[in-house]
Amino acid sequence: MRLTKMLVTPGRPYPLGASVDDSGVNFALFSAHATAVYLCVYDASGVNELARVALPRQSDHIWHGHIEGLALDCCYGYRVDGPYQPELGHRFNVNKLLLDPYAKLLLGELVDHPSHYAYQQQHPDADLSFCSLDSGDFMPKCKIVDTRNLSPIPAVAKEYDQTQPSLSLRRSIIYEMHVKGFTQLFPDLTEAERGRFSGIANANVVQYIKNLGVTAVELLPVQQFASEPFLQQKQLSNYWGYNSIGFFAPHQAYLNNADINEFRQMVAALHQSGIEVLLDVVYNHTAEGDCRGPSLCFRGIDNLSYYRLHPQQPRYYINDTGCGNSVDLSNPHVLRLVMDSLRYWVEVMGVDGFRFDLAATLGREPQGFNVNSSFFDAIKQDPVLSQVRLIAEPWDIGPGGYQLGHFPMGWSEWNDRYRDTVRRFWRGDAGMLPEFARRFHGSSDLFEHAGRRPSASINFITSHDGFTLTDLVSYRQRHNDANGEQSRDGHQENFSDNCGMEGVSQDLHIQALRTRQSRNMLTTLLLSQGVPMLLAGDELGHSQQGNNNAYCQDNTTTWLSWQQDIQRDEQLQFTRRLIKLRQRFPLLCHREYIHDSCTTGSPALDWFCRQGSPMTKTLWSEAQTRTLSVVISGELEAQPQCRQALLLMLNADDESLHFTLPTISGISHWDCLIHTQDSGFDSETKGYFAGGAAKQFLLQSKSLMVFYAQFEGAN
């Protein structure tokens, strides 16, 4: 039936977006400065436009209308009319088909075409000109989604016993992964599952993640994103996905059948295995870029409301993100959009929390970053969002943009100082002992002053952004030529070390050193106070051939290889052992910061030099010392009378050195749980691996040992 025969009424201004009811569909769109809003209705294919209707009413800047009897398989988009005055911040152009900011699903591809630009690209005054080309044929369409009768997603299954108490953030082990990169080459998946949410939901994939021992997956952006025109022109794409254009819609390429239930089924499958799902979300900027970018959604709906513009020259965007624009969360309507989006992903899609990309931008107000900004206050008072995991990337590139340690109570933060310190310590940089101790301790100097706990620190050695763990010990320089920017992109300083040769090496000595260094950093990560985050593939020795900015490499550079070999299997088994060790000893993830010594109480954390003596101010200041021992002790939560201790001996020196066990009252016997030394290196210390009474051990260069002891008299 043609839409012209259907009844169009004013409808209601809330909820925003396309809302299905018993009689039809209600449409509502915010625009404070538009003069007219036209709803374009398409058939189920998204190709044929059925009708164009002006939304009949505006209520407090919300344009709305209801269409009775509209088929639920229809698609739609908007055209918004108003002034085209870039010098005043207005960029309306009714010739541009625009996405609904509240669209739950998109259909069709975004095809790079001159019609997407509201201005004439070849005009001498560029964006001040006006382009009348129609973009409708080159835009994806919004799909109507009825969410009224969706079944609830089961909560995360939690095991209640002494070895795995109910999961809290401090007990979490986060696993950062990419939907396509993880599944594209995974064995025994169907072609339809490769690169998609259904691949993550596959029982074999879920079992792998569960067997690894991690408690939460953190997915790189899965909200609808677009590839920048400059990448498309180079036959590349935005692989990571940090270029959002739809805050509610799952990314089309990760779906098989254009059904949001595919995402929900993935979440349910992970939840049933006790694994939380966290989303990496991008609300700080959009895919529309700077003043010369395309008009795809927000820019054409109400540029002046959605973006932060220069007060004196509103033609230009404030670019604190480095991506061309910055979303204006000080506008209450824009803030509502973000809050509605977050609640939707929790309440409808079932996720357990979020990692916020460039989160400093979200807290920016006219005077700068504000820990009491409207965004943080809105989260704090929200009964749903205040209860989920909230993780900040605590920086952007704007003035005062580095805000590590300054986010509100209840938030955790990516701790790049932890990353850099651990890398530099194991590389052998001078003077690293005090900084290493602070980071290992949970970075109390950064977080405790505000009453926050060790779980505020998300510790990581590697992430999607930068070298993989294998590349961190194989390359001194970035090798990003494939990105087409002459290797000028990506971090210049990575605090990496190639162990004697740049890139792949057949030298057995270099290979052994690289293995030790990888395991040293993994062990440090899993034994530090705070919440560890592991980059997917590091447990398999994945390499990106030295590319430390592989955001546009949708190929085997970033796709994980699952081919088995001895070295990869040994690395995987070592990682699993480490994770089990952390789960076995809750004292590694203590609720509060540990400031006591083992001589005064429990829990306790004590530092020793390699000779077994307590660290002194003089010893801490010895810049050339690259060795350290630490003892963490405490009572078991389930058995308060059982006091245990872990001893970690660290040798970041280039020479093999003798370490003496520290003397601790109540401990006479240590057992080695794990070590990173080369196979066979323990010839001089055979007894201690079985728990012997040896007091001194030779640690190979660039290696560590972890011991366990139970205090005498403990049950």
Catalytically active residues, by annotation? 357, 393
Instruction: Mention every residue, 6+ apart, whose C-beta is less than 8 A from residue 67.
Output: 3, 6, 7, 8, 24, 25, 27, 39, 41, 53
Scan for tokens 């964006």, then name that residue: 127
Kindly calculate the radius of gyration of the chain based on its CA atoms and give it in whole angstroms: 28
Contact partners, residue 125, CB within 8 Å, separation at least 6: none
Q: State the Cα angle at 535 between 380 and 349, rounded to 5°.
A: 45
Mind giving me the DSSP string for 193-242?
TTTSHHHHHSHHHHHHHHHHT-SEEEES--EEE---HHHHHTT---SS--
SS3 362: helix
**Distance between start and end Cα atoms, the chain:** 78
Structure tokens at 339: 């809050």
Rounded Cα gap, residues 265 and 254, in angstroms: 13
Alpha carbon dihedral 660, 666, 668, 673, in 10-degree steps, equals -80
Residues 37, 65: contact at Cβ < 8 Å? no
- Contact status, residue 607 vs residue 628, Cβ threshold 8 Å: yes
The token pair that represents 390 in the structure block: 């909230």
- The length of the chain, given as a count of residues: 715
The token duo for 224 is 């609808």
Rounded Cα distance, 659 and 631, in Å = 14
Quick one: which of 152, 79, 148 has its CA closest to 115? Answer: 79
Task: Give the Cα separation of 650 and 709 in Å (integer).
Answer: 18
| Residue recorded with tokens 């997956």 | 217
Angle, helices 298-306 vs 332-347, to 10°: value is 120
Q: Are 224 and 252 in contact (CB under 8 A)?
A: yes
3-state secondary structure of 28: strand
Secondary structure class of 79 (helix, strand, coil): strand
Contact, 541 vs 567, CB < 8 A?
Answer: yes
Angle between helices 416-427 and 508-527 (to 10 degrees): 140
Quote the tokens at residue 314: 């509103």
- What is the β-pairing status of strands 57-59 and 17-20? unpaired
CA distances from 223 to 103, 241, 679 (A): 11, 8, 46
Question: Please, are residues 484 and 196 in contact by the beta-carbon 8 Å criterion?
Answer: no
In angstroms, how far is CA 505 from the centroid of its own chain? 32
The single-letter DSSP state of residue 98 is B
Which tokens sit at 699?
């640690």
Q: Tokens at residue 614, please?
A: 């307590």
Six token digits for residue 56:
């009949």
Spatial contact of 52 and 40, defined as CB atoms under 8 Å apart:
yes
Which backbone phi and psi does 137 adopt, to 5 degrees? -75, -10
Contacts of 407 by beta carbon, 8 Å cutoff, 6+ apart: 359, 363, 371, 376, 392, 394, 413, 456
The amino acid occupying position 81 is D
Contact 504, 474 (CB under 8 A): yes
Measured on CA atoms in the order 230, 232, 237, 243, is the torsion positive or negative? Answer: positive
Q: Are 280 and 357 in contact (CB under 8 A)?
A: yes
